[in-house]
Amino acid sequence: MTALSLPDARALVAAAMTSCGHSAEAAETIADHLVDCELRGLSFGGLARALSIAERIRTTEAPPRPIRIVAETPVSATVDGGDQVGYLVGTHALRLAMAKARAQGIAVVGAHNTWYTGMFSYYLEKAAAAGLAGMIAGSGPAVVAPHGGTEARFGTNPIAFGFPATPTPVIWDIGTSAVMYGEVRLKARLGEKLAPGQAYDAAGAPTLDPAAALGGAFGVWGAHKGSGLALVVQLLGMMTGAAADPPGVSDCGFFVVLVDPGVLTDPDDYRRRVAAFAESVRATRPVEDGHAVRMPFDRSASRRDETLRRGAIDVPEAVVAALRKEAAGG
């Protein structure tokens, strides 16, 4: 592992993203998202993701097009991402949804023709800080088998909910696959194995080989219940205009709904009541010999606070070396 200071980590990602064609502003947007993943201990969505972005850009013949709104009402919009990376498209969609929710009380924004939209809690934290509650769901290429099957039909299909609260928001953010795409790609890059029961090869046999899993299918999270949720997320993504099964890493759907609690109740009182309820959940009597009950976002936020105090992150040496090569022009 290589210890990188947070400024050095951010600068390295930004340099790599600029080298593969992004503007300085776009590179900073991507770097902020990836470093936040590292702060929370989600390394598969962190600096290693910058390598996947650069590889995707190098292997795509047609250049990306500008992000544009293709349909709009006072409370909704459909965004064509122009095959831009999702960190940029997701940020655009979120800002649009936040503006509409502030003005109208509710907003729904769908984006398609994008890829790698990242950690949905990243977006929902920004919405919650503005006093908005919301949901984000994202579909993608078929890499996950439905419960009882071994052939890919779903994307990894994350879904997240966020609620404003004083002093910290309540956020629940999950993927509906047994293992996330970025985690499989990182293990393949580092020569590591998957855990048993996470994936199948192309013939439908269980596999620990991430390369074989990428050519086969990942398992679904939560058995038949998770499989049903994955199906719903795929359909929500398709509502944005995204394909049911796009080729390669492309045309992910990004579906955002934001609500101003003030259209239904006193917003300040709501934030206080959400916080009080969260505390009551944390105060639940634990099972014998169990740990204290946590709210879904507690571990991630705590890890980020600890890493910020440390001021540095640990990144695999192979990832740092590859990023430095990208930053130098590949």
For 228-273, write each residue's pLDDT tens digit: 999 999 999 999 999 999 999 999 999 999 999 999 999 999 999 9
Residue 141 gets which letter from DSSP?
Answer: S
Range with lowest mean pLDDT among 136-145, 153-162, 180-189: 180-189
172 burial type by CB count under 10 A (0-12 exposed, 13-18 middle, 19+ buried): middle
Quick one: average pLDDT of 76-85? Answer: 98
Q: How confident is the model at residue 330 (pLDDT cuts 50, 70, 90)?
A: low
Contact 139, 234 (CB under 8 A): yes
Q: How confident is the model at residue 326 (pLDDT cuts 50, 70, 90)?
A: very high
Quick one: average pLDDT of 182-197? Answer: 94
Average pLDDT, the chain: 96
- Write down the pLDDT at residue 38: 97
**What are the residues whose beta carbons fall under 8 Å from the beta carbon of 116, sequence distance 6 or more?**
49, 52, 53, 56, 85, 86, 87, 249, 252
Residue 43 gets which letter from DSSP?
Answer: G
For 145-170, write each residue's pLDDT tens digit: 999 999 999 999 999 999 999 889 99
- Write down the pLDDT at residue 244: 96
pLDDT exceeds cutoff 70 at 140: yes
pLDDT exceeds cutoff 90 at 19: yes
Contact 30, 18 (CB under 8 A): no
> 0.85 exceeded by the pTM?
yes
Specify the 3-state DSSP secondary structure of 186. helix
Rounded to whole angstroms, the Cα distance separating 311 from 319 reads 19
Range with lowest mean pLDDT among 94-98, 166-170, 231-235, 276-280: 166-170
- Write down the pLDDT at residue 159: 98
Rounded to whole angstroms, the Cα distance separating 100 from 104 reads 6
Residue in 307, 330, 327 with CA at minimum distance from that of residue 4 = 307
Cα–Cα distances in angstroms (integers) from residue 330 to residues 205, 265, 313, 324, 327, in the given order:
37, 54, 24, 8, 7
Q: How confident is the model at residue 291 (pLDDT cuts 50, 70, 90)?
A: confident
- Write down the pLDDT at residue 254: 98
Taken in order of first residue, the domains within the chain and their CATH numbers are 2-59+301-328 (1.10.1530.10), 68-177+219-263 (3.30.1370.60)
